[in-house]
Amino acid sequence: MIETENETLDKTKFTRVIGHITGKKEGPTFIFFSGIHGNEPAGVKALEHVFPELQNRANALHGAVVGLRGNIPGILSSRRYVCDDLNRLWTSSKIDHIRSKPGRNRSPEEKQLVEILDLVLEIIHLRTGPIYFVDIHTTSSKSIPFITINDALINRRFSKWFPVPVVLGIEEYLKGPLLSYINELGYVSLGFEAGQHQDDKSTENAIAFIWLSLVFAGILSAAELPEIKIHHQILASAAGANHFFYEVTDRFHLKATDHFKMAAGFQSFDAVKKGTLLGTQNAKDVVASKNAVLFMPLYQDLGEDGFFLIKKIPNWALKASAFLRKINWDLFLVLLPGISWADNTRKNLKINTTLVRFMRRPIFHLLGYRRSTSAHRQTIMSNREQSAKKSLYKTTWWYKK
């Protein structure tokens, strides 16, 4: 069982649970992950700062709060990972494969996955009511704080209340992030990028985000947190009034054998023009393929993503998307030639890309479908809406607004 930690800082570095506090009143459960990448200390530091203060407010809490360390070997060595990227292992097939191995044959990150997954499933089994997940990260480049989400409406509705930009659709370009797995279980799950890895302000941003998360989720009332306006202002100021929704449009993928160097001076959300020199790959220039907004440029040795390109989503598109999903308009898609259900769950569409040339990706995105796999002139598009446990959140203030 999970217990509240009251140990010294040095001792807690070797334990999974930073803190677990259950209030005296019934309510939601909030699970915070930190250090999934071991070279990103801000989330760990923020949770270590918040939990002692939470303990003092335990009588005012509705529900439970859990803070977890992710890749403990990575944290102790200040490395992104030791053998495998822990944030790329969370697919059903990989999890089944890892579980089938004897423990002694698992890599350090595979062992971490099994421990984290067992703990999360235990919490889900024990708790009733809404459950929220946040995975706290930082970036190798300088960056304003921002949120990343898998594109489900429950994620959009909760994340829009934070005074930072929200980037959706990254799951279409990454395979195996922790939060994609959590989303498939149907729960609200956000990634929070607090800033640059070693910037002290990243920890400050993460602390502010944690407190706002607990108030927005209803675990702590605003009246019990007089400093809530300060936390809100910290994030709003750090984000520079950027409170827009964005969508990932391109990913510059790196192979293990590539030698990539990002050009100096770029930050997330920098506007770049077509032809701008962004870096070099194997001694060849890499330039922007179009006018776009740069996202998460890579300034560290480990990583598969050189950078992403994103674009702002207009409000009308967000509203249209929400309406079309509410009326389940996607059910009509299978009446069109070349589109069928991929399986009996009706969560995934199978698209014959030879026949379906008239429908572009943005149309599928409006309806909540994101590309999952593509091969042999067929693409599988996955829908997060079908998995979302909307009934858990329908009585919350943020869902109804």
pLDDT along the chain (401 residues), means of 10: 36 75 92 97 97 92 96 94 95 95 94 96 89 97 94 95 95 89 94 95 98 97 93 97 94 92 94 96 94 94 90 94 89 86 84 70 82 74 86 94 83
Q: Which pLDDT does position 11 carry in this prediction?
A: 41
The top-level CATH class assigned to 9-243 is alpha beta
CA distance 179 to 188: 9
Among 33, 37, 38, which Cα is nearest to 17's? Answer: 33
**pTM for this predicted structure:** 0.91
Q: Is 118 exposed, middle or buried (0-12, 13-18, 19+ CB in 10 A)?
A: exposed
CA distance 213 to 230: 14
61, 219 in Cβ contact below 8 A?
A: yes
C-alpha atoms less than 13 angstroms from C-alpha of 205 in its C-beta half-sphere: 30
Q: Give Cβ neighbours of residue 326 (< 8 Å, ≥ 6 apart).
A: none
Domains 9-243 and 250-312 equal at CATH topology level: no
Instruction: Please provide the DSSP assignment of 290-335 as one string.
Output: SSEEEE----SSS-SEEEEEEEEPPHHHHHHHHHHHHTTGGGGGGG
Give domain limits for the chain: 9-243, 250-312, 315-383
Domain at 250-312: CATH architecture:
Beta Barrel (2.40)
